[in-house]
Amino acid sequence: MKQNHSKPEPDNLESRELLPIGEVSLLTGVNAVTLRAWQRRFGLVIPARTPKGHRLYTPENIQQIHEINAWLAKGVAISKVKPLLMSSALVTEVDCTPLQESDLWLEQITALNSALFELDQHKLHQILDEALGLYPFQLVKQQLLLAWITQLTPLLEPRLDAELLLAWLESELASRTGGRASFAGQASLAQIGLVQLPSTLGQKTAEQFSGHSSMFNSSMTNRLYSLVLRLELAELRVSVVNLGVLDTDSLGLINNRLKVDALLLLPEANHPASKQTELQSVLEQMAQACYLIGPFAPTLTALSGFMAPELSELIGQLTAAKEQQKKRQRNQKNSTAELVQGEQVYER
């Protein structure tokens, strides 16, 4: 059965619930840039337009976005989605596409490795721009970014230039997140401090890790994961204060000094019970909300109460709390003004 995905007629829009592109992005998890790319390049999700040209999305549009997300999650390439939306009879194409899409992600990972090892700035950003422009961030995160860093650690470990490559990659991805500081003219929703917690062996350079391969892997994995984390926070319109590697004692020195909405802590492996107890004592005294995140966070079992929820959920909680605080401040200011005004009237 064919579905009607044509552009809605203006005469039929007045009585319908229409949403602007920003609200649709929050509702579906597909950012505005990607929605525009789907429409422009593949003729997908055609919205209505206001007289001034702003996009307005109908319930049918939103349902179509959910359907597209479902196909993408199954491994279908975005370029092959439109025929599947138009007909449910293409079983053969559906069956063969996931393998093709899996190959696509593997090709992208290989290309990213090549760009990194060659220090090819243009190639690196071209691959990331293409992926982040055409696919929802969470899909890119799972299928490309996390898959890439998982296989990258053992590739970097034996290389003499591992530290050089990591530093270059950190610089390039930091330039991407730094370039989004204005969030397309929108204010940031929150500000997060990002801290990497070293293992009990302490902070070491790549040369010092000789004979401690597992510790080197832990540190490198965390550094790579922090890059993905910063990209995700930028996607969520969160500005980041990157504090690098701090031990437990140094972490305590942040208290009541750094004005951020929360701290995200990325622990490395090998935190024995005594160190977890020490860390818990510091976290309980922090003025900022502190959350453990990353691949090794679940190993700190004594600190389960500090585990971070999904980032989108966390940022939603922080944003709601800030709005409530602003509301209380406005009410307090208004109450003070009314009190002063009342006193002035009484004096007259």
Q: Determine the average pLDDT of the residues in 37-55.
A: 91
Say whether pLDDT at 267 is over 80.
yes
Considering the chain, what percentage of its residues have pLDDT values greater than 70? 79
**pLDDT at residue number 2:** 42
Q: Determine the average pLDDT of the residues in 81-90.
A: 70
- Min mean pLDDT across 66-80, 90-104, 117-131 is at 90-104
**pLDDT at residue number 51:** 87
Q: What is the full DSSP assignment across 129-167?
A: HHHHHHS-HHHHIIIIIHHHHHHHHHHHTT-TTHHHHHH
Backbone angles phi, psi at 236, to 5 degrees: -90, 10
Say whether pLDDT at 61 is over 90.
yes
The answer to whether 149 touches 173, Cβ cutoff 8 Å, is no
Is 122 in a helix, a strand, or coil? helix
The answer to whether 220 touches 153, Cβ cutoff 8 Å, is yes
Element (H, E) at 199: none
Say whether pLDDT at 121 is over 90.
yes
- Min mean pLDDT across 40-54, 192-206, 280-294 is at 192-206
Query: pTM of the prediction?
Result: 0.78
